[in-house]
Amino acid sequence: MKPVFIYSILFFLASCNSSNTPRENKRYGGNLQIEIPYNPITLFPPSVDDDVSERVIYQMHMGLLRFNPSNATIQSGIAKNWDVDNTGKVYVFYLDSTVYFHNDDCFIGGRGRRVTAHDFKYTFTYLASRRAENKNFGIVSRIKGAKEYFLNYPHESDVDIEGIQVVDDFTLKLEFESAASIILFHLAKPAASVLAHEAISRYGALNLVGTGPFICKKTQNQDAVILEKNEFFFKKNSKKAPLPYLDSITFRFVDSKQERCDLFLQKKLDAMLYIKSEDINEITELLYDNLEYVLKESFQTTDAKQKFYNIISKDIQNLYTNNLRLYDMSEVYRETSTQ
């Protein structure tokens, strides 16, 4: 009996040391289908200025910071942490050294390279330019020297912006003209996502290469945008298990209440998000007696005059929304009945 006892202990210890428990493993896989009111206008971060494009870009790209999906507070993105000096004008960001751009032919050997502080210097300089495809100068306008650059250098050049300094490969220093609470908010927006100069040189504003949890490999489909899992995404969950859980996301273009309800009943949609309060009764009636969904409040406007709701399939977990209309799908998963 002793050998059996010893083997049992070893098996138990091995199970405890495994990065993924059986319950955790069952979270992986599957496709999530989300409706959007129109097709994204762009998937290029510097060009984005509409809600739908932002939602899709947010799954593909990442910047220094990120918004918490449930309450829109600021949290770490590629920057693990950051310091602010006593004046509130100088920020130092410490980057995660395990972040890589998506694999793509624009890189040597087709393998995405490591992200460094130099890439953020390139990105913020790009955002300070007067290039036609850049619609987000406001993201960097408070950086010291950015306004002068914008006025004097319509396109990218070798001229440095005074307030952007690469301390080392994984440390970035930004100096702003004045202290402002909105600085971190701007740096967390999809438009502030890091860009690879190799990808911009090859694809320009058609670039799809990012660092986010999902990858867009094609955009020809007129009815949907399909994103696939980034197998090399750097973020982990609280148990150090790799993210994302999902294999893919389908953003499906739906332009009517009836169509979105029909697709939901046909299980061709997993969630209907940001539904106005005045539309809830009509939509739930269209769902008939279907009980396979959860109705949740999404958010209400700051003046409390309007509330928005989500209708989500019961088996979809960790799908949160906020008043910025941005969501992070990296920890969303489909719960199975055997879980």
Q: pLDDT tens across 45-100, in order?
A: 999 999 999 999 999 999 999 999 999 999 999 999 999 999 999 999 999 999 99
| Beta strand residue intervals within 265-324, DSSP E | 271-276, 293-300, 307-313, 316-317
Query: Cβ contacts of residue 171 below 8 Å, gap of 6+?
Result: 92, 93, 94, 95, 117
Return residue ranges of the chain for CATH 3.90.76.10: 65-206
Write down the mean pLDDT value for the chain.
Answer: 90
183: pLDDT strictly greater than 90: yes
Return residue ranges of the chain for CATH 3.40.190.10: 29-42+212-334
CA distance 63 to 191: 8
Percent of the chain with pLDDT over 90: 73
Write out pLDDT tens, residues 16-37: 444 555 556 678 999 999 999 9
- Topology adopted by domain 65-206: Dipeptide-binding Protein; domain 1 (3.90.76)
Residues 187-217 as b/e (b if ≥16 CB within 10 A, e otherwise) read bbbbbbbbbbebbbeeeeeebbbbbbbbbbe
In sequence order, what DSSP letters do the residues of 189-222 get, joined into one string? SGGG----HHHHHHHGGG-----SSEEE-----S
> Considering the domain 29-42+212-334, what is its CATH architecture?
3-Layer(aba) Sandwich (3.40)
2: pLDDT strictly greater than 60: no
268: pLDDT strictly greater than 50: yes
Lowest mean pLDDT among 13-27, 78-92, 104-118, 214-228: 13-27
CA distance 4 to 6: 5
The total of other beta-carbon atoms located within 10 Å of residue 218's CB is: 9
Residue bearing the bigger pLDDT, 156 or 214: 214
Single-letter residue type at 122 = Y
Average of pLDDT values for 290-300? 81
pLDDT at position 10 is 39
3-class DSSP assignment, residue 137 = helix
Mark out the alpha helices in the chain (DSSP H runs).
Answer: 2-17, 22-25, 51-60, 117-127, 146-152, 183-187, 197-203, 257-265, 280-286
Lowest mean pLDDT among 24-28, 115-119, 145-149, 282-286: 24-28
Q: Which two tokens stand for residue 295?
A: 């109705």
Percent of residues in the chain assigned helix, strand, coil, to nearest 5: 30, 25, 50
Instruction: Please say whether the beta carbons of 99 and 234 come within 8 A.
Output: yes
Bridge pairing between strands 248-253 and 31-36: parallel
Q: Which helix (H) or strand (E) holds 324?
A: none
3-class DSSP assignment, residue 290 = coil
Average of pLDDT values for 148-168? 91
Write out pLDDT tens, residues 138-157: 999 999 999 999 999 877 67
